[in-house]
Amino acid sequence: MILSTTDVLQGREIDAYLGVVTAEVVYGSNALRDWFAGIRDIIGGRTGAYERVFERGQREALEELAKRAEATGADGVIGIHITTDTINVDESGTLMLITATGTAVRLQ
């Protein structure tokens, strides 16, 4: 499975466009991670714990995107776009949302 952010694949021809595919990954908040992130807000610096969560989430979203595209008969996904967002559940909780979207294609 070829995954690409571009709309063409150099050296390959697209035989068929099979439609848009999406994949979502949602993570719950973690009290300890939130506490350390709050400390980082005060003293400055990067929040490695959250960076690792988003890195893992992006990887998992791409894996799920490939699996969903494969189910359509695709052997590639082009034009991939990854977004991150939050969902506020209530005053004590936030969910992290990572979405990957692309066009499933069958290559010659």
Token pair 């979405």 in the structure block, residue:
99
Task: Give the model confidence (pLDDT) of 28-41 as tens digits.
Answer: 765 555 555 555 55
What ranges do the domains of the chain cover? Answer: 2-107
Lowest mean pLDDT among 9-18, 51-60, 65-74, 82-91: 82-91
What's the whole-number mean pLDDT along residues 4-32? 89
CATH class of the structural domain 2-107: alpha beta
* Angle at 77 (CA atoms; ends 28, 105), nearest 5 degrees: 140
- The whole-model pTM stands at 0.79
Task: Give the model confidence (pLDDT) of 51-72 as tens digits.
Answer: 788 899 999 999 999 999 999 9
Helices (H), 16-89: 31-43, 48-71
Per-residue tokens: 48: 């490695």
Per-residue tokens: 35: 């506490």
